[in-house]
Structures are given as C-alpha cells and as structure tokens.
Amino acid sequence: MPARDRINAQKRDAIPSPGFIASRHDAICSYWDLLAESYPDLFFSEISAALTGKRDPDSDWIKPAFEGLIQKSRYCIDIRGYPAWAL
C-alpha cells in the first residue's frame, strides 16, 4: 500500500489495527484489483500464501483475502504482542 513517508514513520513497527483495516476496505481492495490485473501470477501466489491458503483463487477471492488480512492483524496484535496502529 502506498504511504506518505511521514505516516509510515509514525507507524514504525506497529500493525494496522483491524478497525483501521476495515475502514480502508475500499482502498485496499482497489489496490488489490489493480495488482491482480497487472501481475496475476505473482499476486495470486502471494495472496494465497499469505491470506487465503487457496492455490487457485475463485471469482470471490476478495472477501476471504480481506478476512484473512484482518485475522493476521488480530493475530499479530493479540497473540504476538505487536502494538496496534490506527491513523
């Protein structure tokens, strides 16, 4: 995701909170659509490994991927102990 240097520096090693991720749903999905269109093999390989666990994405890959992103955020914050971050 593109980020301004100042914003990225404020975030440091914190994990975007599930609420913040949810609030950016449309922007995140728009970037994912662009990446999926431009680099389908790489994008789906990465999103499968990181978020969905599916090797062959179906037509409704966005919802499971977004839910996976929120679950990863919760895991990193609640289990691994990383600080949460929200703009």
pLDDT band at 24 (very low <50, low <70, confident <90, very high): very high
**pLDDT digits 0-9 by tens, 2-23:** 677 887 777 778 899 999 999 9
pTM of the model: 0.84
Q: Mean of the per-residue pLDDT values for the chain?
A: 89
Tokens of 18: 């599930």
Q: Is the pLDDT of residue 55 over 70?
A: no
DSSP per-residue letters across the chain: ----HHHHHHHTTPEEPHHHHHHTHHHHHHHHHHHHHHSHHHHHHHHIIIII--SS--TT-HHHHHHHHHHHHHIIIIIS-PPEE--
